[in-house]
């Protein structure tokens, strides 16, 4: 089964309702099951609006580790929202460890950066550095090191069993899915990343998040959702 959670602001809510119909029309879900954040049923696949909803799914599923594919690290700490939910999930011990892959923004650059950095490993999309004890160190990243190296590092850190969350803003701007700034990946790169995660990890459950109504006018966006969802759904068939 798949659970659709139309959380967040109006454009998110409309976006999730639109995608529910889209996936049904494509034959990828049999029924449309909606839920709210207060009553999340136990399941293996979720489609949601605002990415902060992932925090509540994690509370229900209680995985030890997770991978977040996201253009942002979502590790802010000021108040709970779509830009901080992962910091809160780690702080509140909802999960033990996390990896963020494909980020281009909110990447900690010094040990003093006001972002949560404990029990999380970040693999940016592009070359980036951070200052560790006075020395600049490079992050292992997709562009320079490739998917294989990133997955290998992530697996050593997380173990085999994971929850997977995909923020669709990881894709580059022409996909026009999310409300905020998009990242750097093409659909082909995202699907390749998903394939490698399927090969290397046991995925307990997954979500696809940060859908907004912009997707109704985006042919590339619709294609991306259909392909990413069907690739992950295969895991549970
Ligand atoms: Mn996010």
Residue 106: φ, ψ to 5°: 60, 40
Residue 69's nearest CA partner among 180, 210, 174 is 210
The alpha carbon of 71 and the centre of ligand 1 are apart by a number of angstroms equal to 7
Buried residues in 208-234 as b, exposed as e (16+ CB within 10 A)? bbbbbbbbeebebbbebbbebbeebbe
Q: What is the pLDDT of residues 79-119, one digit of tens each?
A: 999 999 999 999 999 999 999 999 999 999 988 889 999 99
Mean pLDDT confidence for 53-59: 98
Q: What domain range includes position 165?
A: 3-236
Domain count, the chain: 1
Residue 162, SS3 per DSSP: strand
Are residues 58 and 64 in contact, defined by beta-carbon separation less than 8 angstroms? no
The alpha carbon of 108 and the centre of ligand 1 are apart by a number of angstroms equal to 16
Whole-number Å distance between alpha carbons of 52 and 33: 20
The alpha carbon of 74 and the centre of ligand 1 are apart by a number of angstroms equal to 6
The string of DSSP codes covering 205-224 is EEEEE---GGGGG-HHHHHH
Answer whether residue 149 shows pLDDT above 90. yes
Mean pLDDT confidence for 37-50: 97
The alpha carbon of 167 and the centre of ligand 1 are apart by a number of angstroms equal to 5
Report residue 157 as tokens. 């850190």
The alpha carbon of 226 and the centre of ligand 1 are apart by a number of angstroms equal to 19
pLDDT bucket at 41, cuts 50 / 70 / 90: very high
Q: What is the pLDDT of residues 198-228, one digit of tens each?
A: 999 999 999 999 999 999 999 999 999 999 9
Q: pTM of the entire structure?
A: 0.97
Q: What pLDDT sits at residue 178?
A: 85
Q: What pLDDT sits at residue 126?
A: 96
16 to 12, 49, 54, 115, 229: CA distances (angstroms): 6, 6, 14, 29, 13
Q: Read off the CATH number of the domain in which 106 is found.
A: 3.40.800.10
Residue 211's nearest CA partner among 174, 159, 163, 175 is 175
pLDDT bucket at 137, cuts 50 / 70 / 90: very high
The alpha carbon of 192 and the centre of ligand 1 are apart by a number of angstroms equal to 20
Residue 96: φ, ψ to 5°: -90, -45
Answer left, alpha or beta for residue 111, where phi above 0 means left and psi between -120 and 50 means alpha: alpha
The alpha carbon of 169 and the centre of ligand 1 are apart by a number of angstroms equal to 7
By percentage, how much of the chain surpasses pLDDT 70?
A: 100
The alpha carbon of 182 and the centre of ligand 1 are apart by a number of angstroms equal to 10
The alpha carbon of 183 and the centre of ligand 1 are apart by a number of angstroms equal to 11
Mean pLDDT confidence for 109-130: 94
Q: What is the pLDDT of residues 156-169, one digit of tens each?
A: 999 999 999 999 99
């Amino acid at each position: 089964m798949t659970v659709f959670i139309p959380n967040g602001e109006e454009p998110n809510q409309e976006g999730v309702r639109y995608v529910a119909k889209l996936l049904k029309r494509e034959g990828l879900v049999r029924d449309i099951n909606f839920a709210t954040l207060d009553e999340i049923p136990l399941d293996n696949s979720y489609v949601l609006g605002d990415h902060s909803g992932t925090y509540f799914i994690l509370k229900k599923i209680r995985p030890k580790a997770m991978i977040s594919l996201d253009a942002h690290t979502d590790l802010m700490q000021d108040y709970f929202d779509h830009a901080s939910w992962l910091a809160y999930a780690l702080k509140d011990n909802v999960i033990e460890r996390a990896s963020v892959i494909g980020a281009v923004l909110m990447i900690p650059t010094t040990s003093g950066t006001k972002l949560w950095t404990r029990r999380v490993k970040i693999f940016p999309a592009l070359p980036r550095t951070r200052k560790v004890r006075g020395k600049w160190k490079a992050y292992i990243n997709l562009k320079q090191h490739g998917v294989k190296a990133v997955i290998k590092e992530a697996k050593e850190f997380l173990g085999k069993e994971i929850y997977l969350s995909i923020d669709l803003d990881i894709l580059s701007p022409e996909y026009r899915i999310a409300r905020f700034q998009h990242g750097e990946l093409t659909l082909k790169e995202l699907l390749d990343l998903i394939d490698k995660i399927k090969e290397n990890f046991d995925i307990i459950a997954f979500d696809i998040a940060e859908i907004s109504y912009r997707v109704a006018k985006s042919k590339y966006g619709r294609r991306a959702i259909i392909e990413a969802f069907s690739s992950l759904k295969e895991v549970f068939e």
